[in-house]
Structure 1
Amino acid sequence: MSQNQFTLDRLEKDFSECSDCKGNYAYFNSCQAINKISDIENEHLIDFHTGASRYYGTVWRQQAEETKLETGISLYQSYLEEIQPHIKKPDSMHCTIYAYEGLKAGLNQIQQKRLEKIHKQIWKSREHAGWSIGYILVKYFDWKAYLIIHPDAKEYNHCLKSYKKNKSYPVWKQPNIPLEAFYIIGSDDEVVNDLLVANEFGWGFSEQGIHTWLTRYKELKECNWLGAPSKKNQEYNSDKPLFISTKFEDYKDYDSHVMIFPPK
């Protein structure tokens, strides 16, 4: 098999499919949200394997700036010189930036402006976080939040106490997020699976917002901030790609998750 054929086969295998446009949400266009994410992922996938992508992880850039090549310049400077002839503007990504790109695409302009206004009113110039956006979606946009937690999670008892007291997820030194239900991994897997199958799009975060992600039905979609812009550059850092899709039931990086879905 030729290298070109291998690349084509790999691209076809990993290509992110467009939305089936069956979300049927009242005030959210999941079709546009999913297609925005698919466009980003597919553009990156093609450029990653055929040259260099404009997308890369924020931590990859930090490490690339500190990595000196034999030519005397940094790995990041070498990358910039590589993409310059193609007039590509580099675009740094991390988990929340990635997820927010999808969310924004599903909101209309009025909703976007309202969300940003509320965020600034509550948190001033603080960056978006999985929990801050999640709080606004629930409190001001009528989205529904669900806690999915492993019984051995370090915050299990704290979360259970908060749920029994006022049906909310306790975010440290921040407003609690109202919850619809408290699901235990291992006991309520079928219910969680049904919830995912019924929703084309979901906003999510794990363990107090340490990581932000999206769901597309049963798939958890995330951005890895160590991800490189090209196959060549990835050899210097993590072997994980920039964008990753995992079946939620197989996702084991964290033990507690908050999933938030639009109203139908």
Structure 2
Amino acid sequence: MFCYVKAFSQSDTIYLDELDNTVSKTKFYTKEQSSIYSGTRYSTDTLVLQTLRLNYVYDKMPLYSKERLFNFLSSNYKLDTTKTIVIHYTNTLKNPKDYPNRTPVYKFDSLNNTYKLLKHHNAGNLDLNLGISRHMHAQNYSAIMYGYKQCIKYHRKKKEELSVLHLYAKNEGFPLEEKGLEWYLDKNQFIRGFFKKFNMVFNIVIIQPNGEFYAQYSGSKYDYDTVITPYKWGVHKTEFLREIELLNED
């Protein structure tokens, strides 16, 4: 079985939404074209499976779930749960030597094989006749560390409002304390499993003291700066709920 994003075939196709319910082709593409959803395609010789996932979501956890989560964060990471909690999550921290020397752009074919390595990205180079389905910008170690430095600088200004936590599931040799930023192990992958209950894969979670949360996996229509701004929270949440309700109408 092969996996690739937004490619097309003549095989029989099944369309599933983010809850693994079968939906029509029209409904699938209507949702996929919104900012809230993105689609992934799985293919065999006889069947194509296209699935949706949430790019970002606003939700609220039940009281018992909130208490369980807050107790875990407080006891294991000494987090102040009376503030807005920000979790930055990465599945794997790579060894510094495994990062590229520069910041190249990779192209992938429809079977997820690397097709070409570019010094400079040019969208016009994509040749669909060759099955090129996507590209990826790979960061080098210096770029990664610069991003972490900016993260620390940004959140230091908001330390009275935010409790910030950087978590990982697996470490392949990355320094856990570097330039003022500390990474912590997601013990027993508790946090990952907790939000999986909400059908959400994520790399950013913002949690309010009342249990409301925003989780983001990939692109969002909202800037990070506005997402963590209290007076924008209700505006964005209302807009999100209205849009997702319209997208899921029968």
Please tell me the TM-score bracket, short chain as reference: under 0.3
Give the structure with the larger strand fraction: 2
TM-score of the superposed pair, with normalisation by structure 2: 0.27
TM-score of the superposed pair, with normalisation by structure 1: 0.26
Give the structure with the larger helix fraction: 1
